[in-house]
Structure 1
Amino acid sequence: MNQRTKNRAGTILWAALAGAVSGGVFLAVAELVALVTVRDAGPILAVGSFVIDIVPRWAKEFAIEVFGSNDKLFLLASLGLAVFVAAAVAGVLELWRRRLGAALFAVAGVVAVVATLTRTGATLLSALPSAVGAVAGALLLTFLIGRLRRWRDARAAGAAEAGLDRRRFLVLTGVAAVGAVVAGVGSRLGSAATSSIAAIRAAVRLPAPRSRVTVPAGAELDVPGISPLFTANADFYRVDTALTVPSVDPATWKLTVDGMVEKRVELSFQDLLDMGLDEYSVTLTCVSNEVGGNLVGTAKWLGVRVRDVLAMARPRSGADMVLSRSVDGFTASTPLQALTDANRDAILAVAMNGKPLPLEHGFPVRMVVPGLYGYVSATKWLTELKVTTFAADQAYWTPRGYSAKAPIKLSSRIDTPRVDKPVAAGPTKIAGVAWAQTVGIRSVEVKIDGGDWQQAKLSTPINADTWVQWSLDWQATSGSHTLSVRATDRAGRMQEQKREPIAPNGSTGWQQTFVRVS
């Protein structure tokens, strides 16, 4: 490779670096403007939220299966990488032809503005961070590439100024890069520091409940490796469409009940507390939970029955659905009958395992409905209950290929032994959990290799809405073994054997796992 070719290749790399730095300035300036105008209106969050809304069902399922609760972190990281790659390309284009790279920044700004304005509650002011950031990035790119051209031309001409032009370009690019990092990180830290919702939550004092969950003796089996009867808040699964956790001040929170009702009702957070709180034990399951998956958990929830709130509004004849809405625009379609059934305690929850709801689990108020998958019932950051019909309204996931109604399917899971943890030969226990919300579990059976189904021991159930633990004594012998599990509910229905995917309304199948015994 001759010197001319090396110089050309080096110039292209420097142009790509200038573009990437300009992209960083685009994001940093946008975050700074968002800090003083509309928080969480930055381009990455706006475009990320838009992507979540338009992503096809298979991509959503893949992301949850592979990344679990880190799916949003992966999305943000991917978008950030895409921005820097695209900005680097813009730098090369600007070097090739003036204003072409800047035009690419303008397109990126328009995309970010459009994505921002599609968000629930967005105003024209919400578009300002992306617009200002795009202009700043484009101007810096034009300036840096101009300096790079001067250096390139001076070097080609053998001019003495080439060294000085090189130093100017490198210094200016370095200063811009450092400034972007400082401004971007500073604005994020500033946003976190000025957000008082975490402190407000910590200061919330809930009234003592009128009733508490009674945990009977034998409700929890003493088996190492089995899922705890109650899932700790920090370990509870989180699957939702919110790219960032909404900040909702309970002092200004309001729940509106309207639609097909005799009386429109508005409740403040204090109004809800004044209705009296009761504690409920409920297992929640995500429709994205695969056979044997961990997108399921149990907690003690403190709240008010939904039917008591709806009774204040008096739903009209003909209504069959309640469309619940989150502050971020997410909606869920819940059968009205499930919310008004006297035998099912659907609640508006304000606490989880004895503490105010964690921010990521819906603080200050969320819905908890036994027996229905979360996407049709468990709306977080709740702000509205619209009494309507399935014919008139669709919820967020219905047009995306999921069923409008989705009762949780009877299921069971093996927690221990695990496929990735060999066990020693000799006496051991096979154990796990099983659930059939609103019905309850009658029995759990386990098959070892090709043997007969064996009856497992069940824990004492708390109620029909809470999973039960189960265990089976096993004399493990050396080698590889196949373990299978199935459950039967109290109505006599056996868990479906046939494997079905999670769409459109939940997976089915008996779990089968492999165990190595040493």
Structure 2
Amino acid sequence: MAPASSRPRDLPAIIPAIVASIAATVLGAGLGELVAALISPSASPFAVIGGGMIDIAPAWAKDLAISLFGTADKTALLVGIAVLLLAVAGAAGVVERRRPPWGRVILAAIGVIGALVSLARPDAALLSPVPSLVAGVAAAVVAGLLIGRLRPAAVAPEASTGPTRRGVLALSGVAVLAGALAAAGSVALSSGARAVSAVRAALRLPTPTTTTAVPATADLGIDGLSPVITPSSDFYRIDTALVVPQIDPATWSLRVHGLVEQEIVLRWDDLVALPQKETVATLVCVSNEVGGDLIGNARWLGVPIRDVLARAKPTAEADMVLSHSVDGFTASSPLEALTDDRDALLAIGMNGEPLPLAHGFPVRMVVPGLYGYVSATKWVSELEVTRYDRAEGYWTSRGWSERGPVKLQSRIDVPRAGARVAAGDAVIAGVAWQTHVGVAGVEVQIDDGAWQPARLASAISTDTWVQWSLPWTATSGSHTVRCRAISTTGETQTPNRALPAPDGATGWDEITISVA
């Protein structure tokens, strides 16, 4: 430790040292991203660290992140990583100023940690550690050079002048600019993403052999009510991929193996040559809270999974299929849910177009009746036929329920919670679902009055949500509105509130509105 009396003379150089270390880290991070764009986008230092954090996060942390940030959870994670990285960089600057070379060691160590994490990722390649190592080494070297210009002040304060510190700050600004330009260059050089996007744009989907009709009466035509078919651009996205995988259909393959009589491998041309089915199905995330919007309904085109599994011939002891994504995610689906009469698909199309890249292009799974964490694997590459007592999926290994059937739920869309409504004729409307079971009715309660039956739109099938509405003569004052659904099996939606973990939220959606 330096004598206390020397600290006041040291203070004027601390802030430039912090700035210099942060600037060096920004430059290193930018160079790391640039190198990743050139050799392997999935090896991006930010994506590697973020993916590692997602992998080790407990179930409650994932649920909290989604409840706080919704589909912006990945952006929030990346911002959090950046803030933490800059804080560590600032601390490393102080250490480097007072105890060189330990500040540089800290910055280099961050790069080494990133490299080690990249090697542990499921999609690791030979060059995966390079971007993180480049980032760490560059940050350490530049920090050492910049902070070294401040060091004479600790020996002979009179030898250090204002211009020296100003020069370091100026060079730090140059480093930040260079880092920003490198990061921008990484985006511009993401040729793989552009190439796959171009392939997707030129792709022509096969004609389905069977389709599911959407009756005109499925849409009640009420302003503010969720549309029957969710536009692809509005469809929720929850997954573990910080960098969207870029997969050319020409290189894609699906391996079906495990407890099967015949292991098979399907390539893109094999898959599109099979009979295609177009169906409408609602997908819902297990993290969807009561009244939440982590749910969507779309047209899906693909091959029934049961047809593919029939080729492989699962053995009698199998009871589960562990689907694998190229990004390392796995989902454990009941074998019976993939082989019964539901339209469980290896989907290649969404709403009349090839799957969007962020929704699993070129191939993903769609399984009505199950929450996404046990069924909706994007960028699917393997179907491993196995047993529940031998394997478990990504989220089930983190404490979520094993099978994940979708629970009976309903939601109020109109009016919005907290809205001000004009007195007189009004409408209360929303959607209800229990996929692969179906909804037979919805009831609405205003304040503490009697439950009133709502009007249901025509259901597309038991695998989709259904719109509902109730006319209402709104009177002045504050009102509480609740809804509950009734399934086709006679079950009434429970009022008991439960959080999403470990197997889906329960309770009635309830809003408070003000009538003028």
Which residue number corresponds to residue 487 of structure 1?
A: 485
**Displacement of 1:7 after TM fit?**
6.3
Q: Which residue of 2 aligns with 1:287?
A: 286
Question: TM-score, normalized by length of structure 2?
Answer: 0.96
Secondary structure of the corresponding residue to residue 317 of structure 2: coil
Q: Deviations over 1:274-326 (max 9, x none)?
A: 10211101011110011111111100101110000001101111100000000
Residue aligning to 1:55:
57
Amino acid at match of 2:384: K
- The answer to whether the 8 A contact 1:411-1:435 is kept is yes
Alignment of 1:289-438 (within 5 A): 289-341=288-340, 343-438=341-436
| Counterpart residue type for residue 37 of structure 2 | L
- Alpha-carbon offset, residue 6 of structure 1: 7.7
Return the offset for 1:170: 3.7
Deviation of 1:437 after TM superposition, in Å, equals 1.2
Structure 1: distance between partners of 2:228 and 2:241: 28
Residue in structure 2 matched with residue 128 of structure 1 by the alignment: 130
Answer yes or no: is 1:249 the counterpart of 2:251: no
Task: Name the stretch that deviates more: 270-279 or 323-332.
Answer: 270-279
CA distance in structure 2 between the aligned counterparts of 1:148 and 1:237, rounded to whole angstroms: 51
Task: Classify the secondary structure of the residue corresponding to 1:21.
Answer: helix
- Specify the SS of the correspondent of 2:243: coil
Structure 2 contact 277–301 (Cα < 8 Å) conserved: yes
Indicate conservation of the 8 Å contact 1:412/1:511, yes or no: yes
The residue identity in structure 2 corresponding to 1:46 is: V
What is the identity percentage for the equivalent residue pairs of Structure 1 and Structure 2?
Answer: 50
State the secondary structure of the residue aligned to 2:282: strand
In the TM superposition, residue 421 of structure 1 has moved relative to its aligned partner by 1.9
The answer to whether the 8 Å contact 1:27/1:42 transfers is no
Give, in whole Å, the separation in 2 of the partners of 1:439 and 1:28: 50
Measure the CA separation in 2 of the matches of 1:282 and 1:351: 13
Matched residue, 2:440 = 442
Q: Does 1:11 align with 2:13?
A: yes
CA distance in 1, matches of 2:508, 2:163: 72
Judge conservation of contact 1:363–1:380 (CA < 8 Å) in 2. Answer: yes
2:458 is matched with 460
CA deviation map 1:30-55 (0-9, x unaligned): 12322333223122111100000111
Q: Give the match for residue 104 of structure 1.
A: 106
- Range that drifts further, 124-133 or 351-360: 124-133
Q: CA separation of 1:261/1:151 partners in 2, compared to 1, >3 Å: closer, same or farther?
A: same
Identify the residue that residue 73 of structure 2 maps to in structure 1. 71
Measured against aligned partners, the alpha-carbon deviations of 1:236-265 in whole angstroms (never above 9, x if no partner) come to 111111111111111110011010111111
Give the drift of 1:163.
5.4
- The one-letter amino acid paired with 1:253 is W
Of the structure 1 ranges 180-189 and 85-94, higher mean CA displacement relative to structure 2 is found in: 180-189
Q: Counterpart of 2:150?
A: 148
1: CA distance, partners of 2:86 / 2:241: 24
What are structure 2's unaligned runs of at least 5 residues? Answer: 1-5
Return the alpha-carbon distance in structure 2 between the equivalents of residues 170 and 462 of structure 1: 64
Residues 11, 164 of structure 1: alpha-carbon distance in 2 compared, 3 angstrom cutoff = closer
In 1: Cα distance, 2:224 partner to 2:487 partner: 24
Cα distance, 1:435 vs. partner?
A: 0.7
SS of equivalent residue, structure 2 residue 421: coil
1:495 alignment partner AA: Q
Cα shift at 1:81 = 1.5
TM-superposed CA distance for 1:368, in Å, is: 0.5
CA contact (8 A) 1:151 1:165 kept: no
Residue 487 (structure 1) shift: 0.9
**How many pairs were matched up?**
511
Q: What is the rounded CA distance, in whole Å, between the counterparts of 2:448 and 2:210 in structure 1?
A: 48
Q: Deviation of residue 175 (structure 1)? A: 2.7
Render the CA deviation track for 1:410-454: whole Å, top value 9, x for unaligned.
111111111232110000110001112112111111111111110
Between the aligned partners of 1:137 and 1:438, the Cα distance in structure 2 is: 54
Q: State the one-letter code of the partner of 1:303.
A: G
Q: What is the rounded CA distance, in whole Å, between the counterparts of 2:162 and 2:132 in structure 1?
A: 36
Q: How does 1:208-219 map to 2 (within 5 A)?
A: 208-219=207-218
**How far is 1:195 from its partner?**
3.5
Task: Rate the CA distance shift 1:175–1:140 in 2: closer, same or farther, 3 A.
Answer: same
| Superposed displacement of residue 114, structure 1 | 1.6
> Matches of 1:295 and 1:264 in 2, distance apart?
36
CA RMSD of aligned residues (A): 1.7
